Structure 1
Amino acid sequence: TGGLGQFEDNFSAPADLYTMIDELYEHLVKKSEGVYAEAGLKECVMNAALAGILAHEAIGHTTEADLVLGGSVAGDYLGKQAASPLVTLVDIAHSYDGKHCPMPIYIDDEGTTARDVVVIEQGVLKGYMHNKQSARHFGVKPTGNARAYQYMDEPLIRMRNTAILPGASKLADMIASIENGYYLIKPSNGQADTTSEFMFGVVLGYEIKNGKLGRAIKDTTISGVAFDVLQNVSMVSDEMKWSCAGMCGKKQVIPVGMGGPAIKTKINIGGR
C-alpha cells in the first residue's frame, strides 16, 4: 500500500474500497465498547503505520544533517550502537523491492542524483541525510535529500521515503509472545524534537492478554525517547507496508513517504 499517484491510479471502482470499509466498521464497533489502556511502560506491537511515523518523526528528523549541525542527539550516535541489532532504517530515494516508493525522488532540487541513505544498519547509526553544503562539511558525498516545495523556495534537507526494513518474524508470533501488552494499529497526530523525544496519538489498538488479542482500547497516547524504543526492539515482522498520509512541515510543507514492518518493543502508553 502507498500514496503513489492520483486516486484514479489506485482505485478503479468503488467496490475496491468495500473490504477496507467493512474492516474499519468492525474496528469501530469494537472500539465503541473499548476500555482505557493501563498507563505505564508496556510491551507493545506497533504496526507498520506507527513504526513508520516513529521512523520519520522521531528518528528521521534527528538525522537530517542540518539538524545534526544544530545539536541533534543523533550527532552523539554516529558509528555507535543506537538501536537493537534487529533494526535497519533507511531513507529510500525512489524504489524498494523493485517497486516505486510513495514519494520517488530521482534527482533532488540541487540537481544531485538521489541515492538511498542507510541511517541505521543492524542497530549502528551509519550516516545522515545531506545536501551539498552539509556533505562538504562532513566530508561525504551529497545524498540527494535537498527538496523545495516551490521553485522560489530554498531547498532544505528533507526525507523522501523513510522506513525500518522488514525482519523475519510473523505478526501472529509477535502478538503471541506478549503476556500483557497492546497491539497498536493506527496513529493520529503527534510531535517529536531533536532529542528524539516524542508523543503520538493512537486511535486504534487492542489489548494483548496471554498472547491473544483482547478488547479494543479507547484513544490514547504513546511517548518516550525514540532511540530507547528502538534499542528495546525484540522482534521485527517480515511485511513491508507504506503510507503517504500527508505533508511534513519542516519550514516548508512537502510530501513524504514512510513505512516499515510491525515491531515489538517497550513503550510508555498514556492510559486514561
Structure 2
Amino acid sequence: MTERRFGAHVALRTHGRKGAVAEVVLDRPQAMNAISTDMADALADACAVLAEARSVSAVVLTSTGERAFCVGADLKERNSFTDTDLARQRSRMRALYSGVLELPMPTVAAVHGFALGAGYELALACDVIVADTTAVVGLPEVSVGLIPGGGGTHSLPCRVGAARAAQLIFTARRVPAHEAFVLGLVDVMADQGGDRSDALALATEMAAHSPVGLRAAKRALRQGRGADLHSALAVEDAAWHAAAFSGDRAEGIAAFNERRTPDWPGE
C-alpha cells in the first residue's frame, strides 16, 4: 500500500500490486470528519488526481474514527461566515461533489456511525454504499435553514423515489442502518466495524474486470439515468462501442477461450 496526503485531513491510498483499488480517506476524526473549506479543497484535489489515474479501476471512500463517517459541513466554521464567505465556499463544495460524481471508475462508500447532510451526500455520490450496523444516515439540512446542496435533491429521489425522498428531506429524519438498508438508502450491510473491509473487498472484486468495460458501463449507467428510452439506448450504444472495439475486449475474448485470467491492457 502507498499513501499520499492532501492537506491535513485527506489521504489517498492505493492497494494491490498495480494499485488498481484506490482509497480516499476522510481523516478528521476529532471533528467527526466534518467538511471544512480546506478539507473540501483537499478532497476535490484527490478526486482530480484519481480522474486521470488510468491504473485505478475502483475507488473506495472511507473515514477514520469510530463515531462518524462524516457529519456534514463544518457548521462551527460556518458560524463565523459572512454571506460573502458562504458564497465563496459554495463553489468549492460544488467542486468536491462534482469531483466524486464524475470519477470515471466505480466508486464505493464505506459508511459507519453518522453520515449526515453533506456527509451522506458524499456517500450518495458513489455508485454503491456499504454500511455497517452502527450507521445512521440522513439529510437534515432544513433543520438548520438550508437544503441538501451536494446533489442530494437529485440522487436521493433516484434511489428511493420522489415521495420518499421528499418525506426524508422535509422531516430531516435520521435513519438507522437496518431501516436504511430496507429503504434502499444504503446498498450492502456489513457487521459492526466491517464497512471498510467489505467495501475494499467489493472494490477489489470490481477491479478484477476490464478497466475499459467498467468505465464504459459506469458512463452508460450515469448518463442514461433519467433520460428517455431512445436517449438512454443511444448512450448505451456509444458506451458499448467504446468497449467493443478496445484492446480489453480482444483480451477478454481471448482469455475466455484460452481458459486463463485476462491481462487487461486497459485501452
| Short-chain TM bin | under 0.3
Question: Greater relative contact order: 1 or 2 (C-alpha under 8 angstroms, separation 6 or more)?
Answer: 1
TM-score (norm 1): 0.25
TM-score (norm 2): 0.25
Q: Which has the higher strand share?
A: 1
Q: Which has the higher helix share?
A: 2
